[in-house]
Amino acid sequence: MTNIYNDTPADIEQAARIIRNGGLVAFPTDTVYGLGADVYNPQAVAAIFEAKGRPTFDPLISHIAEIDFLPEYACTDERVMALARHFWPGPLTFVLKRKEHNPSLDLVCSGLPHIAVRMPNHPLALKLIKTAGVPIAAPSANKFKCISPTTARHVADSLGDKVDMILDGGPCKIGVETTIVDLTTPEMVMLRAGGLSKEEIESFTGEKVVVSHGDPNKPSAPGQLLKHYAPQMPMRINIAQENVRPDEFYIGFGSVKNARLNLSPSGSLSEAAANLFAYMRLAETHTECRGIAMSPIPETGLGLAINDRIRRASYDK
């Protein structure tokens, strides 16, 4: 039995009805699949935390379908709107001041005075939000601390029985989560490296983006927990091909030999990001191996996000 549906108007209508009635719908975005609920329905939002096994001190991102709605939803200024017009829809999340005290948003924001908002670049996600008529709160549609899903099948495998409906929009094009920037202070602080590179943001604003490494014991973003995005097998990173152990599953990058899977034989970081989570999932099914070894990945552009995820996935303390 499966609760995976396609993208016909009837499927979207049904998914929107589920959202309006307080249910959970998993849906595709440009980055990873999200587990969505009506932001204004605290019970539905609570069901997200429950389904994921996620602590409620980790706030959720609100997904909206129109740039013009942003000023109604959160505090904006010209800087925020210019960034939204340039990068939305796309893999960039803003942390902004909340507009006024709306208690129904307290759980989504984990009681913080700030709210995270994004507009995903995926036609199915945008149609779903518009049809539901409310912003959709959605974390990645995986169990807490596990690898984010980039296909509907990944969602079904980890949360299948906990979600009312899964909309299948094919594999996610970007494959790593959004870049999160905090815009509540004069300088722009990157809380999480993601699908939009720091360099692209800086070349648009002409200003430096400050990288926050956060306090791993007090994460303002769960992605800041040292151990996160973990496969079910030990993983070693930055491993040159000559140092791979015979009992390891080798995930390569670029022109390496003997890789069981290669994130991008041509060395493209965007291709590597799109393959990363699916390959980690495939690797961990090879239970004849004792662990995963991962090629070095350059620390530029999307490489920041890729290295961030694999560093956390390999953390074993």
Which of 57-65, 66-74, 240-248, 267-275 is the region at the interface with ligand TXA (rule: CB under 6 A)?
Answer: 57-65
Residue in 38, 164, 168, 177 binding ligand TXA, rule: CB under 6 A: 177
Residue in 15, 16, 32, 263 binding ligand TXA, rule: CB under 6 A: 32
Residue in 64, 95, 167, 209 binding ligand TXA, rule: CB under 6 A: 95
Number of residues that bind Mg ion (CB under 5 A): 1
SS (H, E, C) 119-163: CCCCHHHHHHHHHHCCCEECCECCCCCECCCCCHHHHHHHHHHHC
Q: Where are the beta strands (DSSP E) in 183-313?
A: 188-192, 209-211, 235-236, 248-252, 261-262, 291-294
Which of 133-141, 204-212, 275-283, 295-303 is the region at the interface with ligand TXA (rule: CB under 6 A)?
Answer: 133-141
Residue in 126, 221, 235, 313 binding ligand TXA, rule: CB under 6 A: 221
Is 59 near ligand TXA (CB under 6 A)? yes
Residue in 62, 121, 140, 314 binding Mg ion, rule: CB under 5 A: 140
Which of 37-45, 94-102, 135-143, 201-209 is the region at the interface with Mg ion (rule: CB under 5 A)?
Answer: 135-143
CB distance 144 to 225 below 8 Å:
no
What is the spatial distance between Cα 28 and Cα 25, in angstroms, rounded to a whole number? 10
Is 179 near ligand TXA (CB under 6 A)? no
Decide: helix, strand or coil at residue 277.
helix
Which of 115-123, 159-167, 196-204, 292-300 is the region at the interface with ligand TXA (rule: CB under 6 A)?
Answer: 115-123
Q: Where are the beta strands (DSSP E) in 39-91?
A: 61-63
**Four-point Cα dihedral 85, 91, 94, 100, nearest 10:** 80
